Structure 1
Amino acid sequence: MGTPADVVVVGSGPNGLSAAVTCARAGLSVVVLEGQPTVGGGARTLDLGLADGVVHDVCSAVHPMAWASPFFHAFDLHARGVELLTPEVSFAHPLPDDRAGIAYRDLDRTVEELGVDGPAWRALVGPLTHRPADVVRVALGDKRSVPPGLLPRGGRTAARFGLGMLEQGARASSRRFRGDVAPALLAGVAAHAITPLPSMAAAGTSLLLTALGHSGLGWPIPRGGSGAIVEALVADLRAHGGLVVTGHQVRAGAQLPPARGYLFDTTPRALVEILGDRIPTRSRRALQRFRYGGGAAKVDLVLRGPVPWTVPEVALAGTVHVGGTRAQVAEAEAAVAAGRHATHPMVLLSDPAVVDATREVGGLRPLWTYAHVPHGSDVDVTEAVLAQIERFAPGFRDLVVAARCVPAARMAEHNPNLVGGDIAAGATTLRQMVARPTARWDPYAVGLEGTYLCSASTPPGPGVHGMAGWFAARHLLREVFDVREAPDLAP
């Protein structure tokens, strides 16, 4: 393809599309190149052929970051017809002996249900819940500068967030809690980081997502699936003259059309493979040192009814963390980090039909699950996932109509950014929270003029928030096109 453009974006995940929209809104000609037959990267909704009319989210399914993201706030998903449906329960965590932790969107109700540990829960996450915008400014910033508007007003919230990370990351069992339900609830959220527990990185993930779970739209599910977010981005891009080309894999620099600026929604590894020695040696070596983390194997299911959880309130949740006690979650994550398959793996589950009736077709509904596994595992974990859910929902197997597993080793086949099944686009370590993907002051620049990395391997990291693309595009606009003001994104 030789079509010239002002800006070429490689990869059409949420970050690539947010970067493309930002540049197109600045009046530039933009071409997006996507190697897959469909756009969206980690936010696609597809018919996998498991049951007529039943569609599945192939990567992300639940979107607390979408409503919290400053990019999507400016873009205004609601005004573009994207309906984010809010479950009554943001997340749930079944436990042995017919018990469960229930994180309602309502903080007060959660505190009441936690009983003796309710006040401690409020003390830990309440201040963050009441000022979520301040937490978001810290967590979804570029990790190099003080976010605009944070100081002095939001400094206290930022300090609470940091102290909470220190406390939760420093020890396996917080002294705040007397029972085992609240620690398990936090551990389930921390496990999204796919890293040994406890750790600072996992604690930051847990506090951010828990705070969002009790504020705003909680942990919402887009009506119709995650693809609705992608459709809104693509529609706006095309309305401003942008071009999206699918089925165009870029493996070498010679396959790029001429342009003044390039934005790569790819892994550092792919960027180096494409541009090779065009990247200065020092920068190239730094990018090559970027570490990838533990893996996830995807198991998509079709059910003939809702999951029969032993604790009925779990069925109100759009997201369920299936891992048992805090100690059991930590044991499973430790096994993954050591390169072993856990006997009872940590399973993340989403049942979109809980809030979206359109996802149920002819009495059949999709069930979205991930199991944490060692990086690059080629094991089919369907049986392990079924067994783990059955522990807390007897009779679950009888409802399964169809199942499909994508082992961690094959996750990159439908999204090259998921190296070895690493859905976080890089190991979630304290160092790579800050120096991501390298220690450069500009984390999006790669040492080659007019070329920027904008994937989840850059700050602020994983999640459907579009922030990495927005940040990188604004760097490109300033440095290459002398556009100083951020383009208006409103409909």
Structure 2
Amino acid sequence: MKKYDAIIIGSGPNGFAAAITLQQQGLSTLIVEGADTIGGGMRTKELTLPGFKHDVCSAIHPMAMASPFMRSLPLKEYGLEFTQATYAAAHPFDDGDSALLYNSLEATAQDLGVDAHTYKKWILPIIDRWESLALDTMGPLRFPRHPLDLAGFGLKALKPATWTAALFKTKKAKALWAGMAAHGIQPLSNWATSAIGLVLMAVGNRYGWPIPKGGSQSIADALAAYYLSLGGEMQTDLSVNNIAQLPEHTTLVLNMSPRQILQLQNTGLSDGYRRSLERFKQGMGVFKIDWALSDPTPFRDIRCKQAATVHLGNTFEEIANYEKHTHQGKILQKPFVLFAQPSQFDHSRAPEGKHTGWAYCHVPNGSTVDFTAEMETQIERFAPGFKDTILAKSTMNTVDIEAYNPNYVGGDINGGLMDIYQLYTRPTLSLTPYRTSNKNIYIASSSTPPGGGVHGMAGVHAARLILKDHFNIDVKL
């Protein structure tokens, strides 16, 4: 059997990022995937009716263009094409009005009225300095390359989202902020919950929230095509539970959650390291629905039809209350729903004249409660007549989501709770969290910094350590 310099378990964005980074330096690599198709969270399937293409996990990709790694790849040459909605995000209210995140700082600020100055004061420095901030924030704790830029960002990012909301005067600005910060999937009163909101707004104003033509699978397919062009190898439909199953290799990269790693046999991990992994905390899970629809969703505010993502939760107070109590394990009737209709911008997703709908809400980790009625009622609240457009649907509770992708433990799509204690010290308290107690095994998953999202940066950082530790190659970002 062939010996590889590195084997990577898992073909999600971080697995591909690690493999590509290693392969670019001339190493021999093999990606092993347990499912019968590649992609991890980047997969598209006909979940409802023939001809309706649904993104099984991620659908809208704010970080795909904002990631230094993703921007460095010639993926367009390998078939990847993005489209943009008129607005990155919309946030409708009961009165028929909406707050909007435009693909422009000036337009977003102007729409917020008296809060325009505050918005620009907080977001403009991040947009202007994103190139340096991305390198200093999308990775482990370390001395920053641009300390002043990072300090300015950190003073804002470490605040609880509730504190930041208090700086705004209008219902519009507060609610728009709540929807952004709630992507962190934790109570908005937690420290550092402002970080995700700031980043999503800034990259939305700078890059938009892009939608891959053909579905999220097209990102995986382009990554795979580029990786294979470098001489990399892949094997699907091989679920690894014992290292002995693998061909001979020098290093091993695990695009896996701590729970999966603990179940893997013959890793040679120390008892102390294993205990650290056992202490890793999971965040809330999600309940997801995909719909085949007869028509575009009839939002009261027609601008919502032209938004990549629609946040359905009404006011800041309503969203904050839902996230707080759901984190505590309670079941509420009006969920905060994240909704997208990619077929509005990519007509290949559905038969002519028809549409796809994609949505999820946060639920207690491991919950098997069916949120279908609650989510559809919440959409109907802002889009009367939505239920009449439903032709078919596919639902996934947290158990289904974990069964589909074992990295999503208890339905946790962020790879673990991203609170102040685990934002950078994940999955263990270490300045090099990609290393394990076995010098030949590394972790490159959303359970390492910078966490969830289609950006590949965890894989890049793990690969850079491998190159330095084992092959005396120093790769700069």
Matched, 1:143 2:146: no
Given candidates 307, 311, 322, the residue that maps to 2:312 is 322
Using the alignment, how far apart are the partners of 2:111 and 2:284 within structure 1? Answer: 34
Using the alignment, how far apart are the partners of 2:428 and 2:379 within structure 1? Answer: 39
- 2:153 counterpart residue number: 161
Deviation digits for residues 401-431 of structure 1 (CA, Å, limit 9, x no counterpart): 1111100122111111000000000011111
Asked if 1 retains the 8 angstrom alpha-carbon contact of 2:415 and 2:447, the reply is yes
Using the alignment, how far apart are the partners of 2:427 and 2:116 within structure 1? Answer: 38
- 2:41 counterpart residue number: 42
Given candidates 68, 75, 78, the residue that maps to 1:77 is 75
Given candidates 331, 344, 354, the residue that maps to 2:344 is 354
Using the alignment, how far apart are the partners of 2:474 and 2:12 within structure 1? Answer: 25
The 5-angstrom pairing of residues 455-474 of structure 1 reads 455-474=445-464
- 1:426 counterpart residue number: 416
Matched, 1:248 2:245: no
Cα–Cα, structure 1 residues 377 and 32, in superposed 2: closer, same or farther, change >3 Å? Answer: same
- 1:193 counterpart residue number: 184
Once the 2 structures are TM-superposed, how far is the Cα of residue 249 of structure 1 from its aligned partner? 0.5
Amino acid at match of 1:208: V
- 1:206 counterpart residue number: 197
Asked if 1 retains the 8 angstrom alpha-carbon contact of 2:84 and 2:211, the reply is yes
- 1:222 counterpart residue number: 212
The 5-angstrom pairing of residues 375-454 of structure 1 reads 375-454=365-444
Given candidates 61, 64, 77, the residue that maps to 1:63 is 61
Matched, 1:107 2:117: no
Task: Describe the SS at the equivalent of 2:165.
Answer: coil
Task: Describe the SS at the equivalent of 1:427.
Answer: coil
Given candidates 303, 309, 312, the residue that maps to 2:299 is 309
Matched, 1:96 2:88: no
Using the alignment, how far apart are the partners of 2:395 and 2:106 within structure 1? Answer: 39
Task: Describe the SS at the equivalent of 2:237.
Answer: coil
Using the alignment, how far apart are the partners of 2:394 and 2:25 within structure 1? Answer: 43
Cα–Cα, structure 1 residues 175 and 190, in superposed 2: closer, same or farther, change >3 Å? Answer: closer
Once the 2 structures are TM-superposed, how far is the Cα of residue 166 of structure 1 from its aligned partner? 4.2
Asked if 2 retains the 8 angstrom alpha-carbon contact of 1:9 and 1:20, the reply is yes
Task: Describe the SS at the equivalent of 1:42.
Answer: coil
Asked if 2 retains the 8 angstrom alpha-carbon contact of 1:317 and 1:354, the reply is no
Given candidates 322, 334, 350, the residue that maps to 2:324 is 334
Deviation digits for residues 414-471 of structure 1 (CA, Å, limit 9, x no counterpart): 1110000000000111110121111122110111021100001011111100111111
Task: Describe the SS at the equivalent of 2:116.
Answer: helix
Using the alignment, how far apart are the partners of 1:434 and 1:194 within structure 2? Answer: 16
Task: Describe the SS at the equivalent of 2:92.
Answer: strand
- 1:182 counterpart residue number: 173
Deviation digits for residues 231-261 of structure 1 (CA, Å, limit 9, x no counterpart): 1111122222222111100112222222101
Asked if 2 retains the 8 angstrom alpha-carbon contact of 1:342 and 1:373, the reply is no
Using the alignment, how far apart are the partners of 2:237 and 2:119 within structure 1? Answer: 48
Using the alignment, how far apart are the partners of 2:468 and 2:167 within structure 1? Answer: 47
Asked if 1 retains the 8 angstrom alpha-carbon contact of 2:165 and 2:177, the reply is no
Using the alignment, how far apart are the partners of 2:396 and 2:127 within structure 1? Answer: 36
Using the alignment, how far apart are the partners of 1:419 and 1:113 within structure 2? Answer: 39
Using the alignment, how far apart are the partners of 2:155 and 2:86 within structure 1? Answer: 29
Cα–Cα, structure 1 residues 29 and 347, in superposed 2: closer, same or farther, change >3 Å? Answer: same
Once the 2 structures are TM-superposed, how far is the Cα of residue 295 of structure 1 from its aligned partner? 0.5
Using the alignment, how far apart are the partners of 2:153 and 2:402 within structure 1? Answer: 34
Once the 2 structures are TM-superposed, how far is the Cα of residue 360 of structure 1 from its aligned partner? 3.0
Deviation digits for residues 168-216 of structure 1 (CA, Å, limit 9, x no counterpart): 5463x7332221110100110111111011223321000011111111x
Asked if 2 retains the 8 angstrom alpha-carbon contact of 1:193 and 1:201, the reply is no
Aligned-pair RMSD on alpha carbons?
1.7
Asked if 1 retains the 8 angstrom alpha-carbon contact of 2:365 and 2:412, the reply is yes
Using the alignment, how far apart are the partners of 1:234 and 1:198 within structure 2? Answer: 40
Task: Describe the SS at the equivalent of 1:370.
Answer: strand
Using the alignment, how far apart are the partners of 1:277 and 1:74 within structure 2? Answer: 33
Once the 2 structures are TM-superposed, how far is the Cα of residue 47 of structure 1 from its aligned partner? 1.9
- 2:333 counterpart residue number: 343
Using the alignment, how far apart are the partners of 1:451 and 1:411 within structure 2? Answer: 27
Deviation digits for residues 362-415 of structure 1 (CA, Å, limit 9, x no counterpart): 322211111111000112221111101000000111111111110012211111
Using the alignment, how far apart are the partners of 1:61 and 1:175 within structure 2? Answer: 31
Task: Describe the SS at the equivalent of 2:218.
Answer: helix
Once the 2 structures are TM-superposed, how far is the Cα of residue 277 of structure 1 from its aligned partner? 6.7
Task: Describe the SS at the equivalent of 2:181.
Answer: helix
Once the 2 structures are TM-superposed, how far is the Cα of residue 296 of structure 1 from its aligned partner? 0.4
TM-score, normalised to structure 1's length?
0.93
Deviation digits for residues 261-280 of structure 1 (CA, Å, limit 9, x no counterpart): 10000001111210467101
TM-score, normalised to structure 2's length?
0.96
Cα–Cα, structure 1 residues 166 and 71, in superposed 2: closer, same or farther, change >3 Å? Answer: closer
Once the 2 structures are TM-superposed, how far is the Cα of residue 343 of structure 1 from its aligned partner? 1.2
Deviation digits for residues 83-113 of structure 1 (CA, Å, limit 9, x no counterpart): 1212120111111211211111122112222
Asked if 2 retains the 8 angstrom alpha-carbon contact of 1:382 and 1:403, the reply is no
Once the 2 structures are TM-superposed, how far is the Cα of residue 75 of structure 1 from its aligned partner? 1.3
Greater alpha carbon shift after TM alignment, 383-392 vs 334-343 = 334-343
Matched, 1:290 2:280: yes
> What is the total number of aligned residue pairs between the two structures?
477
- 2:19 counterpart residue number: 20
Amino acid at match of 1:319: T
Using the alignment, how far apart are the partners of 1:387 and 1:92 within structure 2? Answer: 18
Asked if 2 retains the 8 angstrom alpha-carbon contact of 1:195 and 1:333, the reply is yes
